[in-house]
Amino acid sequence: MPEVIVCRWDSSVDGVLNEGSLRRKLEDRGYRVSSYTYSPGTYFSDHKHGQSKIDAVLSGTFRMGMYGEFVDLGPGDWIEVPAGATHSAEVIGNEPVVSLDAIKI
């Protein structure tokens, strides 16, 4: 079974983490990027997408589930979700999550 690989922002290479810099990094990889804010308690049960995507976090904590594994993503973290992969997401804690949702183009 595939494993969930968390990518992390490296300020020594990528510079200061902000929406513009993370958006550019994802766009440079061939993704169309949208920004969303999710309130505490938001939960997305198991679902799939027809396109490959990246879920990236600017602030807050997003718990992502995929392949029977759960990872907590914080600021500057992201995972790649292959097309057709069943996954879930949940806002953890009392802080909203600002997420960049990137769809492969």
pLDDT on residue 2? 87
pLDDT on residue 72? 98
What's the pLDDT band for 87 if we cut at 50, 70, 90? very high
Please give the model's pTM, rounded to 2 decimal places. 0.94
What residue ranges in the chain does DSSP mark as E strands? 6-8, 31-38, 43-47, 53-59, 61-66, 69-73, 77-81, 87-92, 97-104
- Give CATH for domain 6-104: 2.60.120.10
What confidence tens digit (pLDDT) does each residue in 38-59 have?
Answer: 999 999 999 999 999 999 999 9
Residue 1: pLDDT above 80? Answer: no
- Residues of the chain with pLDDT > 70, as a percent, come to 100
